[in-house]
């Protein structure tokens, strides 16, 4: 049996560049026909760990955090919508869109990993947030999406209420930050080749080709 390429993707479900980068990576893997040679594991990174439960308006949040103008934000959304369409992903930005707290989402993504459905849930939650105008900080929304891919809501709820699970999630985040990761998406190929940001398709193919030799 040929060895697998392990790809750790450090990301947050409210990071638009993370889904663009993942979709390009996925396209590279499919076009190269190496789906059975690749193992992906999502790693947690909260862009806004101090975000209150009620969240914050996206436009206000981006402007406050990065010092951007409303015109900057508008252009960025247009660019992301265009790039999303190129990889069959819909960004549906709207005026009252909120930046949520994502801790619970990451805990459930880790729960899904144990059940072999981590990528499926991660992508589902990103779609719920960016494409379907859903508040993924609300537990009822998170549990609905989790149930939609065949996972047990009651078991997941226990995980959300488990103080040890929350501590372990924070420890995972600290592990990646201690490795110097400060922005997402960051992809680690076999723990060594590190790519930060959403790169063109050919870059992912080049990295994967090098690891297949």
d(CA 99, CA 52): 10
Buried b (16+ CB within 10 A) or exposed e, 176-200: beeeebeebbbbbbeeeeebbebbe
Q: What does pTM read for this prediction?
A: 0.96
Under 8 Å between Cβ of 77 and 63: no
Task: Express each pLDDT in 150-204 by its tens digit.
Answer: 999 999 999 999 999 999 999 999 999 999 999 999 999 999 899 999 999 999 9
Sign of CA dihedral 185, 170, 100, 142: positive
Q: What does the pLDDT average to over 84-101? A: 97
Q: What does the pLDDT average to over 53-71? A: 94
pLDDT at 57: 96
Name the nearest CA neighbour of 7 among 171, 175, 204. Answer: 204
Residue 33's Cβ-side half-sphere holds a number of Cα atoms within 13 Å equal to 0
pLDDT at 1: 67
Residue 187, beta-bridge partner list:
9, 195
d(CA 88, CA 146): 22
5-212: what fold? Glutaredoxin (3.40.30)
**Sequence-separated (6 or more) residues with CB below 8 Å from residue 194:** 186, 187, 188
What DSSP letter does each residue of 73-117 carry, written as one string?
A: HHHHHHHHHHHHHHTT------TT-EE---HHHHHHHHHHHHTT-
Q: What does the pLDDT average to over 79-95? A: 97
d(CA 179, CA 32): 30
d(CA 179, CA 164): 23
């Amino acid at each position: 049996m040929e060895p697998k390429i392990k790809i750790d993707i450090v990301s947050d479900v409210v990071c638009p560049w993370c889904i663009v980068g993942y979709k390009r990576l996925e396209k590279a893997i499919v076009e190269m026909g190496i789906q059975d040679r690749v193992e992906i594991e999502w790693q947690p990174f909260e862009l806004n760990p101090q975000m209150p439960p009620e969240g914050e308006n996206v436009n206000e949040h981006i402007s406050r955090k990065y010092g951007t103008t409303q015109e900057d934000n508008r252009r960025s959304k247009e660019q992301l919508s265009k790039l999303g369409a190129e990889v069959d992903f819909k960004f549906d930005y709207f005026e009252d869109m909120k930046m949520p707290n994502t801790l619970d989402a990451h805990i459930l993504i880790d729960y899904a990993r144990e059940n072999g459905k981590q990528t499926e849930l991660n992508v589902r939650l990103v779609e719920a947030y960016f494409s379907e105008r859903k508040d993924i900080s609300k537990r009822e929304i998170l549990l609905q999406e989790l149930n939609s891919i065949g996972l047990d809501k009651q078991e997941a709820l226990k995980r959300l209420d488990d103080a040890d699970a929350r501590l372990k999630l924070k420890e995972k985040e600290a592990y990646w930050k201690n490795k110097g990761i400060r922005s997402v998406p960051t992809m680690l190929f076999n723990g060594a080749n590190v790519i930060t940001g959403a790169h063109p398709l050919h870059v992912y193919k080049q990295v994967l080709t090098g690891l297949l030799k």
